[in-house]
Structure formats: structure tokens, C-alpha cells
Structure 1
Amino acid sequence: MTFLFRDAEGPALCPQGSVVCIGAFDGLHLGHRALIDRAVARARALGVAAVAVGFEPLPRELFARGVKPPRLMLVADKIAGLRGLGVDGIGLLRFNARLAALDAAEFVRRTLLARLAAREVWVGPGFRFGHARGGDLALLQALGAQAGFSAHAIAPVALDGERISSTRIRAALTAGDFSAVARLLGRPYAIGGRVVRGRQLGRTLGYPTANLRFAGKTPALRGIYATRVHGVAAAPWPSVSSFGTRPTVDGIEPLLEAHLFDFDGDLYGRRIEVEFVAHLRDEEKFPDLAALTAQMQRDDAQARAILLQHEPQRVFA
């Protein structure tokens, strides 16, 4: 069973040693997977635990002023994805003012050594860590030489001559290029979660929806989409989804609302994944519910036509 920890310091978790990989892991794209695969392979070769260490919230969210930067995935999906890649331990360290003030040497001593007994540490290209991002790979290697572990960076993972990154994926999502996103992730882009009750306005308009909250985070996309819902039947279910704040009804919190075509069933509490296939239009405010309903009918027809032309794919590789 994979163990999960949140604190940078505390009791030893890997008394026999570990191989650690460190990153934000937002999206778990092909670059992240290459890093994790390397750490897992080295851990198996050494007979020790493979541990992925990240941060929650993401550092850029803590330091942001105003609206938080967009993120690709929520914590539950990240944990599930990391488990699926074979790690033995997952550290989602609470990134707060105290951890941000910890210098690089103290982070190595308290987390990599005292908690994880690291034998090897693997990082991605351009890795920085510690207070004010003062540490880099060279410092990590120097500290490791003193403490008895080695540090390494994997080579950049590129696609079409450009390094794969979460920033690149966010840009592709904004542009509605889901084909490019799938190539960068190694799987279609999807958002998962448990279905929650909404205001049930869609049901009164003839378009009941399965609703997912984005846990107070800023999503990397917004608008109306042709989608497929995984987790309700043996095959992905065709749907049309709205992701935004619902300006026509004065919504505030970002909400993902998926209308499953010709579906009759209760999904409350069910965990589903909504796979994004194509962008239909931006979110907009309509003068009244009649105008909104008319547009929803057009969205429905357009999404059905698009989905007929796209073969379903597996969400998780």
C-alpha cells in the first residue's frame, strides 16, 4: 500500500532508504512520468522505496496575488495517478510560509535525510528548491556528497522539438487544442471527482447535469465543451459540459457541469472523470433563461455531431 505524508519533518518513513523524485507534478504529463519512472526503476534496482515528493498548495499558488494561477489537476487525481505509476510513498508537503522560509540545506536534512533516508534524488530540468529558490542541482549534489546520497536530473522530454511542461499544456488548453494536450499528457485531458448536488437548474430546463467542484482552485480552462464521462458505464458516455461560474444565474464558484446525453440515473456521490474532446464556445451571460436554454439546445446538437467523429480513448494510461 502506498503511504502518504504531508509534513516536511517528522518520524523516519523509510528506514531502509529510498529513491526520491521531486516535482510539482501538476498534470502528470510525459515529462513527469519519465522522472517518476526513473525513480521507480532505480528504487527497484536498489531494493528500497520509491517516493514522489511534491507540494500542496503549489508554490506558485501560495505566492500569487489575487486570482490563483490555473492548475491542471486536483489532489485526489494526482494521488491516484502517482499510485498508478508505481511509487511506494507520496509526499504532498504543506507549502506554507514556514516551509517557504526553509533553506535548501535544512530541507535536505529534515526531509530527504531524516524522513526518507534518501539514497538517490531525481529531479527535472531547471530544478530549484529551498528559500527564495536558492538551491539548484549543483547544490543538491554537493549536499548529497556530504550526506551520502547522489542527485541527478533527467534529460528534458520534448515533443515536436519543444520541452513538455505544464505551462505548455495550459496554453494548449486555453487554445482548445485537446489533440496537442493528449499528446503532451500521454492520455486525453480529464477532470475527476465525486458528483455533488447543485442548484438543479439544469434539470428544470431539461438538461440535468452531473456536477463536480474544483475545490476552490482555478481551472486551466473555461467554457462549453463536447465531453465524455467515464465511470458511469462500461464505455465512456457522450456529453456536453459547462465549466465556469454560470454568469447567467450569478454563480461564483467554478463548477464543472456535465449533461450526459439520454442518460437516466442517479450519479450523486459517484466518482466520475470528464474527458474534454472539443471546445464549443466561451462562457457568456444570457439575458434570460429562455435564451440560455436555446443556446444549450444548439450546444447539445453541436457536441453530439463532434463526438460522432471522435473515437473514445482511455483517460488513464
Structure 2
Amino acid sequence: MNRLFRDAIGGPLCPQGSVACIGAFDGLHLGHRALVGRAVARARALGVPAVALSFEPLPREFFAREAKPPRLMLPRARLAGLLGLGCDRVGLLRFDAALAAMPAAQFIERVLVGRLGVREVWVGPGFRFGRGREGDLALLQAAGAAHGFTADEIAPVLLEGERVSSTRIRAALVAGDFALAARLLGRPYAIGGHVVRGQQLGRTLGYPTANLRYGGKTPALRGIYATWAHGVAAHPWPSVSSFGTRPTVDGVEPLLEAHLFDFDGDLYGRRIEVEFVAHLRDEEKFPDLATMVAQIRRDDERARAILMDQAPQRASA
């Protein structure tokens, strides 16, 4: 059974019914985990599949095409994370003009009832959906009375008196407060992917890097960081990473470049994960490569010193 589905319109996916939770799930923070956990628990109690329903691209990305808002998590990681939390199926519905124009009542009938046969629907506080964000919990509950399902929302998840949210995590990352971001996420912030070939300029300069693309998305942070690389060896590997557009060499696409200290090996095609520990400096454009290399050397030394005093917070991927 394919556990991922992308189409809003189609035949039934859960003939025996399902329990669904709906949200952006960008970052899979503590609030998202509470929502998914509730849906999974209810699905197990009813003996039906648990379905996490989201969108790709996210609606806010679709409506802001000129300046896409930052993403915490790429689609593959979001899918893996939702499955890891116990979801039996994950819908990353293609958010296009047709879906954006679909009335909320039609979304309920076609997707929730027609495709998923929902018996329960769970959402977060303030959830809105459908054309012009016209749908809300009250509409879900009214439709449920007609179609034979129930709908409810979970209570807000608070940390230090404030609601846990993706917006709050993005602000923490921009501020370099990785400790707060980790508390909000329930784990350290990290980005994973398959190592790709870059321009190999770092290798010629004596600082080879493992490069990860960000899938055309806008990252939530940019700059130079002390990091741990997971999936390279049996233990996390200390590293210094640059995440940005590489202005000195006229880069365009956001690229995560991790220089693994004293590492000798071929990582091309390997899936690794880079855990962010500390912000060293912002990305900048240097007048020449010699000046850039001198700064890279200082970044290297500073990152080594930071990582010597801080153990990695997660097991190796």
C-alpha cells in the first residue's frame, strides 16, 4: 500500500473509515505532535487508519510566489516524520489554483468524506480551510452531523507561557537561539538530504564540503554555523556549515555546505543530517577568495571550540 497520496480528488482510500488530522505540520513541533498523537490514539481505539492531511506546497507558499516564506522542513522529512509518529497514511495534497478555489464544504465532501471516509477529524486551535479560509471548526462539526463524523480541536500546547508555533521556531532560528528551537520542536533543529556534487571549490581551497540542496524552498535560517553531521559514521561528526547562496562565488540556489573536520571519505549520494548548534556569523561577500579562506579558517577554529564543549543532542541518523 502506498502510504502517501497527493490527489484531492479520487476514489476511496479508507473503505473502513479513518481518523484524520489536518495541518501544515511544518517542523513537526510539540503542537503538531500533540495533534497527530491524538488522531493516532483515536484511530487505534476505533481500529481504523490514522491519516495526516497536509498540502504541498503549503498554502502560504502558493499565495506568496514572489517572496516565498521560509520553511522549517522539506516534504520528504515531513512525510517521514508523520509516518514515524504513527500515521498510516499521509496526504500531501497538491495545492494549486483548483484546490485554492475549492469551497470548504466541497473539500469536506470530496476529500474528508469521499476519499477518507472520516469518522473523526482533529485540528489545531484556530484552524481554517477552504476557499478564502471560509471553513472552520464550526463548519466541520455541522458537516459532521450530516455526514456521520465528529470534529474537534486539541488544546494549545504552551511552552514558557506561550503557544508553540512554527512562527516562534523560525524567530528562534533567526535569533540563533537553538536551545529554544529545540525545546519547541522536542528535538534539535536539523536538515537532512542526500549529498550532491557542488562546484567543488571548497575542495580546491582545502575545505571540502558535503552539499545538501533545499528543494527550491526558502530556508528558515542563513549564515555560518557550528554543526554536527549525522549519518556519516557511527557517531555524530563535528563540522562547520554554511547555509545560503554563496555571494562570493555568485551562488543563487540556497545550499547547505557542511565541512566535516578531519574527515576523509566519499559521501556523494549518502543521506546525512546536519544538526545546528550555534550561529557563528551572517553570510557575507568577500572581495577575493584569499580573504574568504582566511575567514573560513577562523570559522573552523571557532566551531571546533564550541563543539568540544557541547555534545550532540540526537542519535546519529
TM-score category by the smaller chain? Answer: over 0.9
Q: Is the 8 A contact 2:230 2:316 kept in 1?
A: no
Does the residue aligned with 1:313 lie in a helix, a strand or coil? coil
Confirm whether residue 176 of structure 1 aligns to residue 164 of structure 2.
no
Does the residue aligned with 2:258 lie in a helix, a strand or coil? strand
Runs (5+) with no aligned partner, structure 2: none
- Give runs of ≥4 in structure 1 deviating > 3 Å: none
Number of corresponding residues: 317
Q: Counterpart of 1:283?
A: 283
Does the residue aligned with 2:66 lie in a helix, a strand or coil? coil
Q: Counterpart of 1:252?
A: 252
Q: Counterpart of 1:85?
A: 85
Q: Is the 8 A contact 1:2 1:83 kept in 2?
A: no
Q: Is the 8 A contact 1:2 1:90 kept in 2?
A: no
Does the residue aligned with 2:217 lie in a helix, a strand or coil? coil
Return the alpha-carbon distance in structure 2 between the equivalents of residues 194 and 77 of structure 1. Answer: 12
Return the alpha-carbon distance in structure 1 between the equivalents of residues 154 and 288 of structure 2. Answer: 54
Using structure 2 for the length normalisation, give the TM-score: 0.99
Q: Is the 8 A contact 2:24 2:55 kept in 1?
A: yes
Q: Counterpart of 1:70?
A: 70
Q: Is the 8 A contact 2:4 2:89 kept in 1?
A: yes
Per-residue CA distance 1:45-104 (angstroms, 9 max, x = gap) = 000000000000000000004221000010111111111101000000000010000001
Q: Counterpart of 2:126?
A: 126
Q: Counterpart of 2:151?
A: 151
Q: Counterpart of 1:34?
A: 34
The aligned amino acid for 1:137 is L
Return the alpha-carbon distance in structure 2 between the equivalents of residues 142 and 160 of structure 1. Answer: 35
Return the alpha-carbon distance in structure 2 between the equivalents of residues 37 and 264 of structure 1. Answer: 42
Q: Counterpart of 1:55?
A: 55
Q: Counterpart of 2:117?
A: 117
Return the alpha-carbon distance in structure 1 between the equivalents of residues 89 and 256 of structure 2. Answer: 30
Q: Is the 8 A contact 1:62 1:95 kept in 2?
A: yes
The aligned amino acid for 1:299 is D
Confirm whether residue 95 of structure 1 aligns to residue 105 of structure 2.
no
Q: What displacement does 1:315 show?
A: 6.1
The aligned amino acid for 2:94 is R
* Residues 13-28 of structure 1 mapped to structure 2, 5 A cutoff: 13-28=13-28
Return the alpha-carbon distance in structure 1 between the equivalents of residues 145 and 105 of structure 2. Answer: 12
Does the residue aligned with 1:258 lie in a helix, a strand or coil? strand
Q: What displacement does 1:316 show?
A: 9.1
Identify if the C-alpha distance between structure 1 residues 316 and 17 changes in structure 2 by more than 3 Å, giving closer, same or farther. farther
Identify if the C-alpha distance between structure 1 residues 316 and 42 changes in structure 2 by more than 3 Å, giving closer, same or farther. farther
Using structure 1 for the length normalisation, give the TM-score: 0.99
Q: Counterpart of 1:210?
A: 210
Runs (5+) with no aligned partner, structure 1: none
Does the residue aligned with 1:31 lie in a helix, a strand or coil? helix
Return the alpha-carbon distance in structure 1 between the equivalents of residues 236 and 313 of structure 2. Answer: 8
Q: Is the 8 A contact 2:245 2:251 kept in 1?
A: yes
Identify if the C-alpha distance between structure 1 residues 47 and 2 changes in structure 2 by more than 3 Å, giving closer, same or farther. farther
Identify if the C-alpha distance between structure 1 residues 137 and 76 changes in structure 2 by more than 3 Å, giving closer, same or farther. same
The aligned amino acid for 1:312 is P
Does the residue aligned with 2:69 lie in a helix, a strand or coil? coil
Return the alpha-carbon distance in structure 2 between the equivalents of residues 67 and 287 of structure 1. Answer: 28
Q: What displacement does 1:304 show?
A: 0.4
Does the residue aligned with 2:203 lie in a helix, a strand or coil? helix
Q: Is the 8 A contact 1:209 1:257 kept in 2?
A: yes
Return the alpha-carbon distance in structure 2 between the equivalents of residues 312 and 186 of structure 1. Answer: 14
Does the residue aligned with 1:43 lie in a helix, a strand or coil? helix
* Residues 159-170 of structure 1 mapped to structure 2, 5 A cutoff: 159-170=159-170
* Residues 177-256 of structure 1 mapped to structure 2, 5 A cutoff: 177-256=177-256
Identify if the C-alpha distance between structure 1 residues 95 and 154 changes in structure 2 by more than 3 Å, giving closer, same or farther. same
Return the alpha-carbon distance in structure 1 between the equivalents of residues 125 and 235 of structure 2. Answer: 38
Q: CA RMSD in A?
A: 1.1
Q: Is the 8 A contact 1:2 1:88 kept in 2?
A: no
